[in-house]
Structure 1
Amino acid sequence: MGEMGLESLGDLVTHIIISKLGAKNAAVIGCVNKRFRVSASEDDLWRKFCTQDLDLSLPQDPFGNPTPSFKVAYITWKESFGMYPISLVRRAKKYWTSIKNWVALNFPEAEKTLRRGASEAELKELERILGVKLPIPTRLLYRFCDGQDIPHRNPSQSEEEDPTTTVATGLIGGYGFYDHVVNVFLLPLRQVIKETIEFVHQMGFSTRSQHIVMAACPHIEKLFFLHCESGQLYVGTGNLFPNGEMMPCVPDALIRSVHDLNGDQQQDGMLLWLEEHGRRLQNGVIGIREEGKVRSISLFPENLPHCTTAVTNGVQIRASAVFVPELSNLKEVQEKYWFSYSIRMRLLPQGCTLDGMYFNSCQLYWRRWINRANDVILSEVNGEAVIGKFPLLYPDGEEFVYESCISMRDSSGTMEGAFTFYPGRLRDPKGRPFDVEVAVFPLEKPDYIF
């Protein structure tokens, strides 16, 4: 076969060999002669290259526009992203394809806030203005999507009147308790520049600071910063503006080679952070919360081990907590770490059963909480109602949800407790009071902070 050469092989064998050489070498072989040019131009061949290199199932350009063939699609992508490692291009594209599909299906309100990808010129302009060099993974993420437009509500309209214009459509989502309502957006480049300049000026940092603001809540001082040299993503604490205190949002050990174009293993804090958030959405760990006419992504976990469920006498209680970095204060002794917890209660379809009797309603009267860390009781709470309310539960009714907060000196602990209900109503009880368990749920500072 060596004497006869590659040309002596049949078309099928030639096709198989070329398909194993990869896109670059296939293009080179296509320049040898007419026969190889035909074999190296078959669209089935370039369909395979598009699938394995770019995760493309349709012949499209980077903006989703159709192309005449898979070969043209591959060439278009190569012209747009040829300066980047192909594995990173695929990874960034895979993230945005996945998250956009999820948003389109589950959260269409946020879909229209996602911006078209940024150009290389726009990225270079940001680097020039801020005096930084963006990590390669972050550059690629912004090439596919330039963050979110943040909608602004008309001051003359309430959220109930115009829910589509509220600022509840943050891609990162949030939580709420009392008047502390958080919803975090991924910022577009123009906003990254604006927020970073304002932050550097406010903090009195050097104009050569490597921290840039990448994500934020419009109305609460919750800010996420990318350190452009290390690639780590940070979030500001309660001490951010007094002294610039931040904490890392992803494990340091996972970040590597953020500026090296020659390696295939680059991953910075932004890429890791967004991929983890996407996994949680895809796997149902977190999801959409509806409150009135307003929907948003809720960071309160929805399943084990971070969300626990207990059923007592037909009353179901789900409980989970989320770390609140923007209130935490690492310099404090007693109240370093803050957590918000969400309690969701409802009466199951079979109604309330007590002492062999059935009741079609029950009403909350009392609550008891125990907070522990390292098997030591840190605090106990006994009191009427929850946030001043005495919810009345019916079979198949909506969950009653309330959120509150707690602070601890330790970065991890637990909460548990019980609610006292009366069958019927408090004004017209139909039987004796009974306790409903709140199963132990964790309070812990996570590896990934959102």
Structure 2
Amino acid sequence: MEGLALDTIIAKAGARPAAALACASTHLRAAVAEDAVWRSFCARDLGLDAPLDPEDRPLPSFKVGKRLREDRTLTNYMDAYKVWSESFGMYPLPLVKRVKLFWSSLKGWISENFPEALRTLSKGASEAQIRSAEDDLGFKLPMPTKLLYRFCNGQLPFSRNHFEDVRMAPLGIIGGYVFYDHSVNVHLSSLEQMVEETKEFNLDLEEQGLPIGPNLALVASSWYHPKTFILNCSSGDLYVGTANLSAGEMMPCVPKSLIKPTDSDMPQDGLLLWLEEHLRRLQNGMIKIRPLKTSRYICLYPEASPLCSSAVTNGVKVRASAVFAPEHPYGGHPGTYLYSYSIRLSVPEACMLGGVYFSSCQLHSRHWIIRCKDTVVSDVNGEGVIGKFPLLLPGQDEFVYESCTPLNGSSGSVEGSFTFVPGRVTQPEGKPFNVTVAPFPLQVPDYIF
């Protein structure tokens, strides 16, 4: 066989059979050695579109070959496929490709949208570092989690330098939310931080006489008010700590039905699924970067339907959404769930009432109807919002405020209206008018961040 027919057979055979074919004859060895063959193997099996090693350093080729050294003698060099196979041969290649694609996609998004957080990411850990962490923990990490750390060893750990920590705090790649004096911003833990915080957590449980959970590892935590994510390394389940975490209370934050920790071809644990879902929300615009005082952060209040409602009345636009906050003390009572909601007010083009345009309008009062399932549990009227009476001008940035509400059930909704005055409250230019706040959900989500 020659040409396209032989190339097609080699390509369909795959990398390992192709390497075996190369041993059969000089003719087959020459066909298998073509760079295009190994380019296709690297793309299909590893997601590589350039000959790079696992640390993104360039390699001479996709295939094995020879190069001229400085002393004018020939030496063999390793192809990209072989380098990757030797580095990750203990893992299923489809899983290696999946985790590699996740990290390259997340880093690409961060580089474009949140570059100040990029340098908080550590380079990948070695197998020796992972084994050392497992020895310190006293148990093995799930295979997908180990691979996640092979490509990136989480974010830089707490430095204990006040000024550096203030700068680093809002740069968590998971992000968070702010309402009243409650701030959360979640960072992905490094191996070193995971080991240290897991030991502290287990020690606290021991001191209270509580049984230590089976092989639990703290994989992410907040730099502001405490919020902790815990991986069960035996089952692959991922949990978020509640306000009663000190007593061992946790909630699942990834659908259990999706977790396959022992699948031979493509195992997936809670941490991998959680991070992949977070990336999807970043990529599709469900969550975005928002300003926070003098910095920026990944804000977890949803920005798109169906989790974010939107309504326009007389030119005034109101967007509203909520997040579930299991770590807040108000949600620490049995059967009580705390939700924080974010309201965004703006006049995109112009405020118009009865065919008359107004140069501004000002919020005067609010009316909220809060439901638990289908039952009205709160009907609230009041002046202003969080003590403010925002003045809206056409084309200006949204006025954003956050508040919260407890709910005696896992699901409900909020809707209502604002009363606005054309012009200013102190100098009205027309009659007050109501602006609709479309219903938005309060619910414990399948994925909790």
Aligned to 2:111: 104
Counterpart of 1:303 in 2: which secondary structure?
coil
The equivalent of 1:162 in structure 2 is none
Aligned mates of 2:137, 2:62 — CA distance in 1: 39
User: How many angstroms does 1:219 deviate by?
Assistant: 2.2
> In structure 2, what is the equivalent of residue 119 of structure 1?
126
Matched, 1:147 2:154: yes
Mapped partners of 2:88, 2:165: distance in 1: 44
Which letter does structure 2 place at the counterpart of 1:342? S
Who is 2:61 aligned against?
69
The alpha-carbon deviation at position 11 of structure 1 amounts to 3.3
Question: Amino acid of the residue matched to residue 381 of structure 1?
Answer: V
**C-alpha deviation, 1:10, in angstroms:** 1.5
Alignment of 1:172-251 (within 5 A): 172-204=174-206, 209-241=214-246, 243-251=247-255
Question: Which of 163, 169, 172 is matched with 1:167 structurally?
Answer: 169
Kept in 1, the 8 Å contact 2:134–2:140? The answer is yes
1:174-202 deviations in Å (ceiling 9; x for gaps): 11100101100001111001111111111
Structure 2 equivalent of residue 39 of structure 1: 31
Q: Tell me what 2:284 maps to.
A: 283
AA at the equivalent of 2:101: K
> Is this contact kept in 2: 1:152–1:167, CA < 8 A?
no
Return closer, same or farther for 1:158/1:230 CA change in 2, 3 Å cut-off: closer
- Counterpart of 1:348 in structure 2 is 348
Q: What letter matches 1:323 in structure 2?
A: F
Over 3 Å counting, the alpha-carbon distance change for 1:32 and 1:135 in structure 2 is: same
SS at match of 1:397: coil
Shift of 1:155: 4.4
- For residue 143 of structure 1, report the CA deviation from its aligned partner: 0.4
Distance in 1 separating the partners of 2:213 and 2:415: 48
SS in 2 for 1:288: strand
User: After the TM superposition, which segments of 4 or more aligned residues of structure 1 sit over 2 Å from their partners?
Assistant: 150-159, 205-209, 327-333
Alpha-carbon distance, 1:358 to partner: 1.1
For 1:268, the aligned partner's letter is D
Give the Å deviation of 1:427: 1.4
Question: CA 1:42–1:122 in 2, change beyond 3 Å: closer, same or farther?
Answer: same
RMSD: 1.8
Say which SS state the counterpart of residue 132 (structure 2) adopts: helix
1:12: which partner in 2? 4
Task: Establish whether residue 403 from structure 1 lines up as the match of residue 374 from structure 2.
Answer: no
Q: In the alignment, residue 290 of structure 1 is paired with which amino acid?
A: P
d(CA) in 1 for partners of 2:43, 2:379? 57
Q: CA deviation at 1:292?
A: 4.0
**Counterpart of 1:125 in structure 2: which amino acid?**
S
1:252-291 paired onto structure 2 within 5 Å: 252-256=256-260, 258-259=261-262, 263-291=264-292
Aligned counterparts of 1:158 and 1:30: Cα–Cα separation in 2: 56
Q: Deviations over 1:185-241 (max 9, x none)?
A: 001111001111111111215678411100000121100000110110100011111
What are the superposed Cα offsets for residues 384-409 of structure 1, whole Å, 9 maximum, x if unpaired?
11111111110111100001111111
Q: Which amino acid aligns with 2:429?
A: K
1:294 — aligned with what?
295
Q: Is the 8 A contact 1:337 1:411 kept in 2?
A: yes
Q: Distance in 2 between matches of 1:35 and 1:110?
A: 52
Amino acid aligned to 2:62 = F
State the secondary structure of the residue aligned to 1:308. Answer: strand
Measured in 2, the distance between the counterparts of 1:424 and 1:203 equals 59
Report if the CA contact (8 A) 2:215-2:234 is conserved: yes
Q: Does 1:383 align with 2:375?
A: no
Checking the alignment, whether the CA contact within 8 Å between 2:336 and 2:408 is kept in structure 1 is: yes
Work out the CA distance in 2 between the residues paired with 1:155 and 1:211. Answer: 30
Paired residue secondary structure (2:170): coil
Q: Please say which of residues 46-55 and 205-214 is displaced more in the overlay.
A: 205-214
Distance 1:12 1:356 in 2: 71
**C-alpha distance 184-322 of structure 1, shift in aligned 2 (>3 A):** same
Distance 1:289 1:12 in 2: 53
Distance in 2 (CA, whole Å) between partners of 1:74 and 1:372 is: 57
How far has the Cα of 1:37 moved from its partner?
1.1
Match of 2:92 in 1: 85
Structure 2-normalised TM-score?
0.92
Q: Is the 8 A contact 1:200 1:209 kept in 2?
A: no
Match of 1:288, as an amino acid?
A: I
Deviation of 1:41 after TM superposition, in Å, equals 1.1
| Gapped regions of structure 2 (runs ≥ 5) | 64-78
Q: In 2, distance between residues paired with 1:208 and 1:372?
A: 36
Q: Which residue of structure 2 lines up, in the alignment, with residue 313 of structure 1?
A: 314
Specify the code of the residue in structure 1 equivalent to 2:18.
A
Change (3 A) 1:429 1:108: same
How far 1:265 sits from its partner (Å)? Answer: 2.8
Cα deviation, 1:310-357, whole Å, max 9, x if unaligned, reads 011111000001111212788735x511111000001122x2111221
One-letter amino acid of the structure 1 residue matched with residue 189 of structure 2 = L
Give the drift of 1:380: 1.4
Structure 1 residue 374, shift from structure 2 partner? 2.4
DSSP-derived class of the 2:199 partner: helix
Q: Does structure 1 residue 29 correspond to structure 2 residue 34?
A: no
Q: Distance in 1 between matches of 2:142 and 2:254?
A: 15
Instruction: Output the CA distance in 2 between the equivalents of 1:77 and 1:158.
Output: 36
The answer to whether the 8 A contact 2:325-2:331 is kept is no
Alignment check: 8 A CA contact 1:152 1:166 kept: no
Q: Distance in 1 between matches of 2:168 and 2:381?
A: 36
Q: Which amino acid aligns with 2:342?
A: S
* Secondary structure, aligned partner of 1:387: coil
CA apart distance, 1:291: 3.3
Structure 1 residues 14 and 104: CA distance shift in structure 2, 3 A: same
- Matched residue type, 2:177: Y
3-state SS of paired residue (1:94)? helix
Indicate conservation of the 8 Å contact 2:184/2:226, yes or no.
Answer: no
Higher deviation after alignment, 61-70 or 285-294:
285-294
- Matched residue SS, 1:380: strand
Q: Counterpart of 2:120 in 1: which secondary structure?
A: coil
C-alpha distance in 2 between matches for 1:197 and 1:430: 64
Distance 1:344 1:64 in 2: 42
Instruction: Report the AA paired with residue 389 of structure 2.
Output: F
* Aligned pairs, number: 431
Give the aligned residue type for 2:404: C
CA shift digits 1:83-131 (9 cap, x unpaired)? 1111110111111011010000111011111110000011001110110
Specify the code of the residue in structure 2 equivalent to 1:411: S
Distance 2:331 2:424 in 1: 45
The 1-side partners of 2:196 and 2:168 are apart by 22
Are 1:431 and 2:435 an aligned pair?
no
